[in-house]
Amino acid sequence: MCRKGMMMTAINEPSSTAVIFRTRCKMWACPDCAKINADLWTMRAVVGAHALQEAGNELVLVTITAHERHSIKRAVEVLPSGWNALRCRWRREVGRADYLMIPEVGSKGHFHLHFITTGRVGTRWWKDNARASGFGYCNDESEGDLSASKSGFYVGKYLAKQLHNNVWKKGFHRVRTSQGWPKVQPLARPDGWEFVPFVNGLPVPSCAQSLAAQGYSVALADDRASWAFLATGELTEGAVWLTLPSPYTTQKEG
């Protein structure tokens, strides 16, 4: 469970049910949130790739390497200017191109850019133009139309390799997209639930006891399990009913 998010209470008056949970901090530095971030970006890769293909686009996977003389630190420093120069050349060649990009440090310590894109130009073009923009020589574009499922596989793989990577400085974007890469539509908020932030510093047992005194059945859940409960009314892994009053014990439903 994320330890840095904000504590919240979801209350459903018609069913006299309340759920105490902690929202996600959404930071890549948080081990719990990093895994969820990777899952959400993998989903966006699949959904976006499918939507772009449905609109008649072909997708390819492109890999660009940093200049062979650049350390990882230097490669990250020059990335904005180098990518801007390469992107301008690319735009002149193909017009509009949508992409989802993941920077990666390879197993041998080399900096790469991996991106799924509609802007097919061929490997030779990337070798020449990426080098002219300040990158390395080892650049590649896949052959054939990349499927939506394969797109998700690559994104999941590259992000999983970076979950424990601490070389990125604060504010570095682990995933980058063009403005046109499709987004995943947010889930509708379940009906009948009111969300109330915790009073600063209020202990969870005190909140749970207060809710129980008002006649609510109280559950304690992590972020994922809380949303599953709000949608279905069923406890899943990561959620328990609280047996009150004190002493507080927990028991899993079913």
- Report pLDDT digits (tens) over 138-159: 999 999 899 999 999 999 999 9
Measured CA to CA, the distance from residue 3 to residue 23 in angstroms comes to 9
Pull the structure tokens for residue 129.
Answer: 């133009």
Question: So what's the pLDDT on residue 201?
Answer: 77
Task: Examine the domain organization and report whether 120 and 192 are in the same domain.
Answer: no
Whether residue 37 is contained in a domain is answered as no
Task: Examine the domain organization and report whether 77 and 166 are in the same domain.
Answer: yes
Task: Examine the domain organization and report whether 146 and 52 are in the same domain.
Answer: yes
Write down which residue in 148, 173, 198 finishes a domain: 173
Measured CA to CA, the distance from residue 51 to residue 46 in angstroms comes to 9
Average pLDDT (16-21) is: 92
Task: Examine the domain organization and report whether 56 and 156 are in the same domain.
Answer: yes
Whether residue 31 is contained in a domain is answered as no
Q: Is the pLDDT of residue 243 over 90?
A: no
Hey, which of 8-17, 46-55, 158-167 has the most confident mean pLDDT?
Answer: 46-55
Task: Examine the domain organization and report whether 219 and 104 are in the same domain.
Answer: no
Whether residue 32 is contained in a domain is answered as no
pTM: 0.83
Average pLDDT (216-242) is: 88
Q: Is the pLDDT of residue 250 over 70?
A: no
Whether residue 39 is contained in a domain is answered as no
Question: So what's the pLDDT on residue 245?
Answer: 57
Task: Examine the domain organization and report whether 136 and 195 are in the same domain.
Answer: no
Average pLDDT (13-17) is: 91
Question: So what's the pLDDT on residue 138?
Answer: 93
Whether residue 144 is contained in a domain is answered as yes
Q: Is the pLDDT of residue 248 over 60?
A: no
Instruction: Tell me what percent of the residues of the chain surpass a pLDDT of 90.
Output: 58
Task: Examine the domain organization and report whether 157 and 225 are in the same domain.
Answer: no
Average pLDDT (180-201) is: 86
- Report pLDDT digits (tens) over 86-132: 999 999 999 999 999 999 988 777 899 999 999 999 999 999 999 99
Task: Examine the domain organization and report whether 58 and 147 are in the same domain.
Answer: yes
Q: Is 218 helix (H, G, I), strand (E, B) or coil?
A: strand
- Provide the mean pLDDT of the chain: 89
Residue partners of 119: CB distance under 8 A and separation at least 6: 90, 93, 94, 97, 98, 99
Write down which residue in 173, 201, 232 finishes a domain: 173
Instruction: Tell me what percent of the residues of the chain surpass a pLDDT of 70.
Output: 94
Q: How many domains does the chain have?
A: 2
Rg, C-alpha atoms of the chain: 23
Whether residue 236 is contained in a domain is answered as yes
Task: Examine the domain organization and report whether 163 and 86 are in the same domain.
Answer: yes
**Do 40 and 28 meet the contact criterion of CB atoms below 8 Å apart?**
no
Question: So what's the pLDDT on residue 197?
Answer: 84
Task: Examine the domain organization and report whether 146 and 247 are in the same domain.
Answer: no
CATH of the domain at 65: 3.30.70.1910
Residue 141's domain spans which residues? Answer: 44-173
Question: So what's the pLDDT on residue 183?
Answer: 94
Task: Examine the domain organization and report whether 57 and 162 are in the same domain.
Answer: yes
Question: So what's the pLDDT on residue 141?
Answer: 97
Whether residue 132 is contained in a domain is answered as yes
Write down which residue in 122, 151, 173 finishes a domain: 173
Binned at pLDDT 50, 70 and 90, residue 254 comes out as very low
Q: Is the pLDDT of residue 251 over 80?
A: no
Q: Is the pLDDT of residue 162 over 50?
A: yes
Task: Examine the domain organization and report whether 18 and 69 are in the same domain.
Answer: no
Quote the strand ranges of the chain, DSSP E: 7-12, 17-22, 60-65, 99-105, 111-117, 140-141, 176-177, 194-197, 217-221, 239-243, 249-251
Whether residue 141 is contained in a domain is answered as yes
Question: So what's the pLDDT on residue 166?
Answer: 62
